[in-house]
A and B are shown apart, each in its own frame.
Chain A
Amino acid sequence: MTQSSETMDGPATTPQDTRRAQRLSSTSVAVIAIYGLVVAMILLSRAVSPAFGGLSQVETIFYLAAFLVFCAFGQGLVILVRGLDLSIASLITLGGVLSTALMAGSNDGLFYILPAILLACALIGVVSGIGVTFFAIPPFIMTMAVGIIVYSLCLGFTQGTPRGFPSPLLRDLMQARLLAIPAPIWLLLAFVAVGTVLQGYSAFGRKLNAVGNNPEAAYVAGLSARTLTISAYAVSAACAGLTGILLAAYANGATLRMGDDYLLPSIAAVVVGGSSILGGRGSFLGTVGGALLLTTLATILSALGIGQGWKTILEGLVILVALIVLREQVFDALQAGLRGLKKG
């Protein structure tokens, strides 16, 4: 990430070069800190339950976090270009409903139906993107409207009861183990690898960063801010569709409310992961850390024998503390302190 941004911003903002590099490195420190926090929480959770702190807990966390990571990647891209995607919940539902209805419990046509569903979702994302860029509709209004329409289409299409079954192949995939590790975790690792390259190291990702940082400057530099923004919404919608397909395979069926639990957590994962909610800064690895943090927290809270109200209060508090502690100023101060120590 660090190198890429230097080449990207080099010509436009020469005097800021060093400051920017420094800021980015503090972002990566923040990312490392999140993973440190996750590991610490897992180790500490042994106090909550003796079964915790082991591999099976880590496995459950990765497994459950996978769905959040899939949709948070798209959310992260949209936030990167100064947007917000509130249609994620409905598109998860759409992905689930379409995949169970079209696959109808068989593997026939899996390899063209799945891409077709992802494409359909991406096209809906394009609609959101067009509304945001060409008609200058505020992102959260535009995506909320698209989300309501998509949800209503699902409701009308299913008459309230989503039909069909996931493809057996996908269902088995969600249950399968490869080298003693659940297949979805391999899927998660592959997704994280691709996503990290796409957002942090590819030309596409660098351009999105540029547009999010300063749309006018990006335009002057010859980037089509509109096309890039629209494609971020398209990727987000396709990721939500993928989440829905996999969730339906995991739960052996779709429900109309299956996406609701992912909308706000997807935004929280991105922000906890060190991205700026205002756009222009963020890394996918941070988002993955954010998703792992939220899931770890939920797993531990679930094992605490306390009332639902207290659980929710604790959840909110820990997220708040994480946000405060993981702020870059804190790391800048730490770094300055360390430097001072070295010099001294």
Chain B
Amino acid sequence: MGLRRTAWRRKWGVSLAALLGTALLAGGMQPAEAKTKDGKWRIYLSLSYSGNSWQSEAANIVKALAKTPPFDKTVELTEVISGTDPQAQISDYESMIANGADGIVSFPISSTALNRTVHRGCQQGTLFFMYDATVTEPCAYNISYITSGFGENSAQALVNALGGKGKIFLSRGVPGNSVDERHTSGAMHVFKQYPGIEIAAEYYSYWDDRTTQQETAKALAAHPDVDGIWAQAGEFGAIQALMQANPDRLVPVTGENSNGFRLALANPDYQAKGLAGVSAGSPPAQSGFAFKLMMEILEGKREPLAEGERNIQYPLPWVPADKVQLCKGDTFEDGCNTFPEGKVPSSFVTEVFNPELLPELSLASALDGKPTADATIQPLPADAVEKAPDAPGINCRQCEAPEDIYSLTKVEPTVKP
């Protein structure tokens, strides 16, 4: 089917595509009108599954924003959880489109399986805003950090901390997932340059603290002399496993944004035992940015982007140990980026806030989906949108990755290969 369509496209060539493009662009330029009876925008929040802190926080942020004035009067938000099966999300999208959705903010389960439905929805005038994960359908907006180089930057930071040689573990995400593959290929690009780096074990931890802890414990049984761990989300579990195996010897760990990990990085006792590293990776705040951007386009406050230009990069959070700053209150104020022990669970993903893009949010927004008292929706800065580079199979079809796809943006190599 896919092949046939491609052939058909090639046959009819540029003219038809141009015609279609103009039609769509014209449709998009008209100021849309709200479709519910009471004049509210009909917006859907479509999730993969609820059940880990990251997914819940991302969803809660959107729910909190939808309750913040003036959105509380202008937006009707419906949350739909589709599980982990793309087929379920396809049928959920179909019902949303049939119900006359003005916009769908979504964590897409597959980067390719949803394309046809998304394309149909776009033609019916529904805006699609994907956060964190992406789709390759060009009419959808992708708001994601994926292209921002988590894998290669964190790998280089680990190599630097190890002085260019040592035995390491790779704690990966979900097998077969395009995000995991992008991160890992970026990391391997760096590790391969250093013959002194030996990958002693590689395991899938499903982006979960407890799974990471147990998988790391198993790997430590075989390699108690490991020198460093490169981890995706779940990294706090890796630290717990290290502590368990040998409380007197820690090693450098790079990972994502759990509060427990950041506190550990900044802990002088742990540092003395050998812990170093950097906290980076996927911020739940992407969902809030996606939602606000969608509303600005829907309300005509911002021009829609042309198809093919709709991949937007969310900046990579980057917090090395010496940049960890404890927050005094319930938001990121004065450059703080971590909450004190006991305020939030260890697995809480800290990057829920963004003082520039999402000043409306507080801790209660991320934890319970509650709006912040006295907050009103602030316009996004004019330069909020940063175009993401092409990543074939992730945010575009039939495209080529730039040659410098794995170039380092956050850290310089301090050791020569």
Contact = CB atoms under 8 A, between A and B. Distances in A.
B223 interface: yes
A60 B218 contact: yes
A119 to B, nearest CB: 25
Contacts of B214: 64, 261
A304 to B, nearest CB: 9
Interface in A30-82: 48-49, 51-52, 56-57, 60-61, 63-64
A256 B57 CA distance: 14
Interface string A139-169: 0000000000000000100011111110000
Contact of A161 (B211, B236, B237, B348): B348
A159 B368 contact: yes
A161 B223 contact: no
A327 interface: no
A49 B60 contact: no
Given A159-B369, A308-B204, A247 B342 contact: no
Given A159-B60, A255-B347, A302 B219 contact: yes
B376 interface: no
Contacts of A164: 345
Contacts of B215: 302
11 contacts: A105-B342, A160-B53, A161-B60, A162-B347, A251-B213, A251-B237, A252-B240, A253-B345, A253-B346, A299-B222, A308-B204
A57 B51 contact: no
B27 interface: no
A272 B236 CA distance: 33
Nearest to A59: B221
Contacts of B236: 252
Contacts of B223: 49, 51, 303
B247 interface: yes
Interface in B331-372: 342, 345-348, 366-369
A254 B60 CA distance: 19
A127 interface: no
Secondary structure call for the B interface: helix
A303 B201 contact: yes
B210 A255 contact: yes
Contacts of A57: 221-222
Contacts of B52: 160, 255-257
B268 interface: no
Interface string B205-228: 000111101110111111111000
Given A100-B345, A161-B57, A253-B346, A302 B210 contact: no
Contact of A60 (B208, B211, B217): B217
A160 B345 contact: no
A302 B348 contact: no
Given A159-B60, A159-B369, A160-B55, A61 B222 contact: no
Given A105-B342, A165-B342, A255 B217 contact: no
Contacts of A61: 221
B218 A160 contact: no
Given A159-B60, A175-B243, A255-B52, A60 B221 contact: yes
